[in-house]
Structure 1
Amino acid sequence: MHAIVLGAGVTGVTTAWYLRQAGFEVTVIDRQPAAGLETSYANGGQISVSHAEPWANPGAPLKVLKWLMKEDAPLLFRLRADPAQWRWGLQFLRECTPGRTAHNIRNIVNLGLYSREQLQRLRAATGIAYDQRQQGILHFYTSEQEYAAAQEPARIMREQGCELDMKTPEECVAIEPALAQCRAQIVGGSMTPSDESGDAHRFTQALAALAEQAGVKFRYQTRVLGCEREGQDLARVIVADANGEIERLTADRFVLCLGSFSRGLARELGVSLNIYPAKGYSMTLPVISPAHSYQVSLTDDEYKLVFSRLGDRLRVAGTAELNGYDSTLNLRRCEALLRRTRELFPQMVAPEGQPSGAQYWTGLRPATPSNLPYIGASRVGRLFLNTGHGTLGWTHSCGSAAALADLICGRRPELDYAFCGPELGAWAGRAQAAT
């Protein structure tokens, strides 16, 4: 059977890998000249099961109001005359109840645990290298209120099997000595020793090379122009190559992995996806003072920033700006990353007034109001979804792809997750009949 995967970010490439391992002939379509050049290019670098509390939680509405129109806010809504943004925002508010938050945390943790295990299996089987570190992730808090609010989500995560231990300020510094530079600000922390970090861009390109060696065909610099249906099924995708030549490509299965751009193509087919682009920022710094630079991946919960060590580079990433599909760099938000990093690690970064060597980047993360991605069958025959991963695309990529490959093959996935589409048992019967 032939599968076409739309998108060559980390989610699309892992989907192609697992489908090929399941015996499919696979073609990947992407508009870029290589894999992993958009949202997967320079993210925070964390494989973070512990980053499971969704943006939509009981404390979020007041924070959003406080941050409204504040240029350096961790989560910034730029209100627009955009029905999709308002629809997303209203559903976001509905997801802020304690019950919905608990439900979403459980699903995010279950998917994260499974995905991390799949990544570890893949790494052991292939020897893939991507500046990975297996030193855990340390969340630290500089606000008593934020630390207190973290206790209940941490309890839910532990109930779902996430190894997460609360830490004193002294224990935080013992785990990561670089935090001694900001010890006076830290009120507590939490450590997830099984979490990891690594360069998602390097991983995506390395896995694409392995997939190509295994027989996956990558068609880069190829744009998806539209789709054609036959009855209730998706029959063809219409594409244009770098020379503008138009083709109609057929397959037995199609998988939508176009990130923030998934919503538009799905809408053309009558499938409603509540995905909105959340523009995230990152900064990459050179290591200029090894003795004062962190080794353990960190999360600054108050400012919603993550810090990862990628070889001889330091990655700082975070914030979310809901402003449509605008992908221009906002200098104010870039400066906020550097300012906060200097506050926490003054000896790690060049002093103010001196060149920092910072390289800034922004990407459109495909966010859903609940932070749960769409994984599974759609209402259109032959079309499957693996999109809407928001800030956790790197964390959830291997698990999402492995589970989706099971669904497409008619197998019940190993994890308990709110998959979209038909009930697993009913779908399994139809999938087996189709093969």
Structure 2
Amino acid sequence: MKVIVLGAGVVGVTSAWYLAKAGHQVTVLDRQTAAGLETSFANGGQISVSHAEPWSNPRAPLRALAWMRREDAPLLFRPRWDATLLDWSLRFLRECTARRTRDNIRQIVTLALYSRRQLQALRAETMLAYDHLERGILHIYTDRREYATAMEAAAVMREFGCERRTVNVDECIAIEPALASVRQRLVGGDFTAADESGDAHRFTQQLAALCTARGVVFRYGVTVDRLSMVAGRVAGVIAAGELHQADAYVAALGSYTPLLLRLIGLRLPVYPAKGYSATFPLSADSIAPSVSLTDDGYKIVFSRLGQRLRIAGTAEFNGYNTDLNAVRCRALIERASELFPALRPADEPRFWCGLRPATPSNVPLIGRSTIPNLYLNTGHGTLGWTMACGSGAALADIISGRPPEPGFRFL
């Protein structure tokens, strides 16, 4: 079939790769000048099956209320009149029960494990190099109550196949010696040895080049205006006054997917969650982590990308605003300085923010929509890089008429 993929982020490009590999004729449309220039550009860099606990969990409502008074809060809902955010927030609250949280963890772990295997197979096949490290992910805790709660979530993940192993303070420092200077502040951690890290932007651009070699056509600088509908099916994509036609269409526009699809009557429970990052070039004598870390209490991750350190995290619900907030940027730097006082960056950090497409459950929307030839691959939230290869591979199976491998709740 001829397939048009809308969006050239990591999810769109992996979709294109697996569709082309399955024998389809693929065209990718994106408004940017190259692949991976929006949400995939400077994310946290983790392939983190261990990050499967959704934001919506039994503790979230009270914490979100308390955090509303903090400009640097890990999860920040900005009070504003926004009917879409109100509807999304009510759905979020419904997902905060223990039963729903457990089921959502199962969905996320199932897809993330499959995706990590697909990424590893792809890397072995193509020899892609994107500053990836296979050193696991260490979650650290400086609050005993937070640590105890996290251990409950980790136990659930282990039931579903994520080997998230509880470790004590000494083991934390043995895994990541750069934490030695804050030994007295740590209360424990957990370690997932099979998790990875890497530069999603480099990966996306290199995979796009391989897609091109396989025959995929990328049309950059093309803003999608609307979908043309005929007899209940998508008849084409209107972009820059031009009609692009195919047999099937994949909407992988991240947070912007619902804005396009509501024009044809589809309402998706996807809302932008703005995340921040700071990227440091490291000097030769920096004492910086080489194992990817997650500071669970602050919802911040640290990933080593060659001679750079990426610090990223938090979620701010403020519509489609992409302005950098100085307070939230500073919070990343201050936490890094607390944990790694001998960081010694070689230059000033490069700050970035991006809009992550979040569903209330953190479970992405993958599969065929209610329109027969329109498929979705969106809503991955903070796990777009983690789930990209698995989402693309599974969607290619669905479009090709094959049952997808993972036991995930596809559309």
TM-score of the aligned structures, taking structure 2 as reference length: 0.99
- Is 1:392 the equivalent of 2:383? yes
Cα distance, 1:359 vs structure 2: 0.7
Contact 2:287 2:344 in 1 (8 A): no
Q: Give the Cα separation in 2 of the matches to 1:31 and 1:291.
A: 38
Q: Give the Cα separation in 2 of the matches to 1:222 and 1:291.
A: 42
Moved more, 15-24 or 266-275: 266-275
The residue identity in structure 2 corresponding to 1:230 is V
Runs of 4+ in 1 over 2 A off after TM superposition: 288-291
Q: Give the Cα separation in 2 of the matches to 1:65 and 1:288.
A: 40
Q: Given the alignment, which residue of 309, 313, 324 partners 1:314?
A: 309
Q: Give the Cα separation in 2 of the matches to 1:341 and 1:386.
A: 34
Cα distance, 1:69 vs structure 2: 3.7
Q: Given the alignment, which residue of 293, 314, 319 partners 1:298?
A: 293
Contact 1:269 1:380 in 2 (8 A): no
Q: Give the Cα separation in 2 of the matches to 1:152 and 1:144.
A: 13
Q: Secondary structure at the match of 2:101?
A: helix
Q: Give the Cα separation in 2 of the matches to 1:261 and 1:210.
A: 26
Alignment of 1:169-208 (within 5 A): 169-208=169-208
Cα distance, 1:408 vs structure 2: 0.6
Task: Please name the residue that 2:348 is paired with.
Answer: 357
Q: Give the Cα separation in 2 of the matches to 1:49 and 1:172.
A: 19
Cα distance, 1:272 vs structure 2: 1.4
Q: Secondary structure at the match of 2:311?
A: strand
Task: Please name the residue that 1:428 is paired with.
Answer: none
Task: Please name the residue that 1:416 is paired with.
Answer: 407
Q: Given the alignment, which residue of 231, 242, 254 partners 2:249?
A: 254
Q: Give the Cα separation in 2 of the matches to 1:202 and 1:3.
A: 25
Q: Give the Cα separation in 1 of the matches to 2:78 and 2:4.
A: 35
Task: Please name the residue that 1:62 is paired with.
Answer: 62
Alignment of 1:157-172 (within 5 A): 157-172=157-172
Cα distance, 1:2 vs structure 2: 0.3
Alignment of 1:211-226 (within 5 A): 211-226=211-226
The residue identity in structure 1 corresponding to 2:163 is E
Contact 2:167 2:188 in 1 (8 A): yes
Q: Give the Cα separation in 2 of the matches to 1:356 and 1:74.
A: 26
Q: Give the Cα separation in 2 of the matches to 1:99 and 1:191.
A: 25
Cα distance, 1:287 vs structure 2: 1.2
The residue identity in structure 2 corresponding to 1:309 is R
Task: Please name the residue that 2:262 is paired with.
Answer: 267
Q: Secondary structure at the match of 2:23?
A: coil
How many correspondences in the alignment?
411
| Cα offsets for 1:54-105 (capped at 9, x unmatched) | 0000111111011014110000000111100111111111101000000000
Cα distance, 1:151 vs structure 2: 1.8
Q: Secondary structure at the match of 1:236?
A: strand
Alignment of 1:115-126 (within 5 A): 115-126=115-126
Contact 1:69 1:77 in 2 (8 A): no
Task: Please name the residue that 1:9 is paired with.
Answer: 9
- Is 1:109 the equivalent of 2:109? yes
Cα distance, 1:134 vs structure 2: 0.2
Q: Secondary structure at the match of 2:105?
A: helix
Cα distance, 1:288 vs structure 2: 2.2
Cα distance, 1:289 vs structure 2: 5.1
Cα distance, 1:349 vs structure 2: 3.8
Percent of matched pairs sharing the same residue = 59
Task: Please name the residue that 2:365 is paired with.
Answer: 374
Q: Give the Cα separation in 1 of the matches to 2:193 and 2:152.
A: 19
Unmatched runs of 5 consecutive residues or more in structure 2: none
| Cα offsets for 1:373-404 (capped at 9, x unmatched) | 10000001200000011100000000000000
Q: Secondary structure at the match of 2:183?
A: helix
RMSD: 1.0
Task: Please name the residue that 1:401 is paired with.
Answer: 392
Task: Please name the residue that 2:273 is paired with.
Answer: 278
Cα distance, 1:156 vs structure 2: 1.2
Q: Secondary structure at the match of 1:371?
A: coil
Q: Give the Cα separation in 2 of the matches to 1:19 and 1:269.
A: 25
- Is 1:33 the equivalent of 2:33? yes
Q: Give the Cα separation in 1 of the matches to 2:347 and 2:211.
A: 38
Q: Give the Cα separation in 2 of the matches to 1:362 and 1:349.
A: 23
Contact 1:289 1:348 in 2 (8 A): no
Alignment of 1:131-170 (within 5 A): 131-170=131-170
Contact 2:8 2:28 in 1 (8 A): yes
Q: Give the Cα separation in 1 of the matches to 2:284 and 2:195.
A: 25
TM-score of the aligned structures, taking structure 1 as reference length: 0.93
| Cα offsets for 1:6-54 (capped at 9, x unmatched) | 0000000000000000000000000000000000000000000000000
Q: Secondary structure at the match of 1:50?
A: helix
Contact 2:280 2:349 in 1 (8 A): yes
Unmatched runs of 5 consecutive residues or more in structure 1: 241-245, 421-435
Cα distance, 1:291 vs structure 2: 5.5
The residue identity in structure 1 corresponding to 2:14 is T
Cα distance, 1:123 vs structure 2: 0.4
Q: Secondary structure at the match of 1:292?
A: coil
Cα distance, 1:268 vs structure 2: 1.2
Q: Secondary structure at the match of 2:50?
A: coil
Q: Given the alignment, which residue of 333, 337, 362 partners 1:338?
A: 333
